[in-house]
Amino acid sequence: MAALWGGRFEQGASEAFARFNASLPVDWRFWAEDIQGSLAWAGALAEVGVLTQSEAERLQVTLQSLAEQLAADPAPLFESSEEDIHSFVEAWLIGEVGDLGKKLHTGRSRNDQVATDFRLWCRKTGKQLLAELQQTLEVMAELAKGELGTLMPGYTHLQRAQPVTFGHWVMAYVEMLERDLERLEDALKRVNVCPLGCGALAGTAYPMDRERLAKALGFERAARNSLDAISDRDFVLELLQLASTSALHLSRLAEDLIFFGTGEAGFVKFSDTVSSGSSLMPQKKNPDALELIRGKSGRIFGAMAGFSMTLKALPLSYNKDLQEDKQGLFDALDSWSDCLLLAREVLGTLEVNREACAKAAAGGYSNATELADYLVAKGIPFREAHHLVGVLVRIALEQQLPLEALTLAEMQQVSEVIDEDVYPALDLTAALEKRCALGGVSLARQQEALKALHGRLAAKAVRRATLEDVDAIQVLIGHWAGEGENLPRTREDIIHSIQDFVVTEVDGQVAGCASLYIYSTGLAEIRSLGINESAHGKGLGQAMVQVLMDEARELKLKRVIVLTRVAGFFDKQGFKVIFKDSLPEKVMKDCKLCPRQDNCDEIAMEHRL
């Protein structure tokens, strides 16, 4: 096919320039998004009379056929000599439908086309990365759960400092990756803006309803300024910054684990599945997966720095320099995804040597601060206590003994206030339990932190229901109605009240539902709560209840009720048992229709807001 811009030129591009200018070897990854945008554009052209409805439908059917073919076999993308993915799709379309295919580009530029494709791809890929971050956090939570009581030394300056637990160490990285997830969620709000219809730079000459076009493509809104829309790439830069920050966190995790796995530390053992050997030294087992995570972080940082330099001096509006926006981001997000996957595999197969961890914690004078606190409790000012403990540590070092192995007489030579009760104070487990403030390493605080994490992860899986969820909701309600746990509801009823529902997902499938029904008096009820039996124990039911309770607070409701056979579950959510006759609305509206009215074993509960 001739170049899309050839009419102005008497000569064609040189072979070297054509090769240098072409982007299909990179932007072929946009094929699905380019077709998606073209499908929407065909519909928009029909709305403004550029295409007839039958022409638009013919183009759309042909585009969908191309999508099916490329999904089955993308080889034509790699064999084509077209300049870019837009040229590829247009050439194929013209080959199939002739001159009609040439009409599709009316009012559209490759500038707003590529910006739209890129945002669609970033939104899709960003959602996939959110899921991968969530999966990684779940693996980390499972590891932390098993090691909450595993004593190990904490470090500052890579020197043993105070005792912590392996679980507490894992949860530190949980906090980092959870912030990465939150940053990505926030960034995707700015990605989700539609440039289509902004043309080359000044907007389209056709009276498109751009907000409607944006909604058709799943965008939150249309871009507000055409110059900005076609030349903006700060969403790319933001994703590169996010990837760099998360890669930094994963690199730190890898470095810690590499150290923990050395013969000198021996805290952990890596699975054979994520390790390699030496071609010369048969005894070696190398943590290559972790070293590659650490190494690939540099590539991601490099992509961010490189694209920052590309953007820094570009005038408005579009410049061909922006063709360099893709390769670095593709590589960075691919590398981020790979690092998350390998982190999950390493952590999910990790063996912790609890004995070695505890021995290291006991051998590094990590209870010195406890001894200083002991002296403070005896009335000695902290600075003086700090000095006295330093003297005792020196004495212990000279004898190659831990502090707790010094005799009482030796300790009393340094401070007369020390007595027999010093030894329980030097116990490392007791030292952990003293760190009971929020964020501390006591077992109770660790358990609270892990429980809160599970709640936050479950809440991430809750969203408002849509009409696409009706069938799944009906199956869930029907199942639990059959078990006698809730009332049956018709499909028509579910459709009419879909705005009342939230759903929760597991692996992209609806696994639970619940609704908030508001009576005419302002009383609200949580209804139709049900979780797929395979998804029990993940905190999803609690998460849906909390989302509905937050909604009730936003609506300024004063009272939320529930009729249930699992009172213990709702008791944990702050509900209290009440008499059923205090619920006239509920009794009049539903209970008289219930076949079990005369033999009801449900308990009425309420939550006053």
How far is Cα 455 from Cα 47, in angstroms, rounded to an integer? 46
- The CA distance from 460 to 290, in Å, is 28
Q: How many helices (H) and strands (E) does the chain have?
A: 26, 13
Q: How far apart are CA 304 and CA 6, in angstroms?
A: 35
Is the Cα dihedral 41, 42, 43, 49 positive or negative?
positive
Query: Positive or negative, the Cα torsion across 74, 64, 120, 175?
Result: negative
Which class for 382: exposed (0-12), middle (13-18), buried (19 or more C-beta within 10 A)?
exposed
DSSP string, 414-444: H-TT--TTHHHHT-HHHHHHH--STT--SHH
Q: Is 517 exposed, middle or buried (0-12, 13-18, 19+ CB in 10 A)?
A: middle
For 222, list phi and psi in degrees, rounded to 5.
-85, 150
Strand partners, 510: 505
Beta strands in 330-434 (DSSP E): 351-352
Q: Cα-flanking dihedrals φ and ψ of residue 264, to 5°?
A: -70, -35
**Alpha helices (runs of H) in 48-151, residue ranges in sequence order:** 53-72, 75-79, 85-97, 100-103, 110-146
Residues in the chain: 609
Any catalytic annotation for residue 278? yes
The DSSP secondary-structure symbol of 11 reads S
DSSP, collapsed to helix, strand or coil, labels residue 507 as coil
Q: Which of 54, 157, 279, 534 is catalytic?
A: 157
Angle between helices 110-146 and 325-348 (to 10 degrees): 10
Task: Name the active-site residue from 278, 496, 536, 582.
Answer: 278
Q: Phi, psi at residue 505, to the nearest 5°?
A: -115, 150
The residue among 184, 177, 257, 166 whose CA lies nearest residue 453 is: 177
Residue 63 token pair: 């585009």
For the range 76-83, what are the long-range contacts, defined as Cβ-Cβ under 8 Å and sequence gap of 24 or more?
77/24, 77/28, 77/31, 78/28, 80/24, 82/1, 82/22, 82/24, 83/3, 83/4, 83/18, 83/21, 83/22, 83/23, 83/24
- Give CA 414 to chain center in angstroms: 54
**Is 383 buried (19+), middle (13-18) or exposed (0-12) by CB count in 10 A?**
exposed
Angle at 128 between CA 536 and CA 312, to 5 degrees: 145
Q: What separation, in Å, do the N-terminal and C-terminal C-alpha atoms of the chain show?
A: 67
- Return the DSSP state at 590: T
454 is catalytic: no
Helix 234-260 vs helix 325-348: crossing angle, to nearest 10? 30
* b/e 112-139 (16+ beta carbons within 10 angstroms → b): bbbbbbbbbbbbebbeebbbbbeebbeb
* Nearest by Cα to 253 from 173, 338, 133: 173
Q: Catalogue the active-site residues.
A: 157, 278
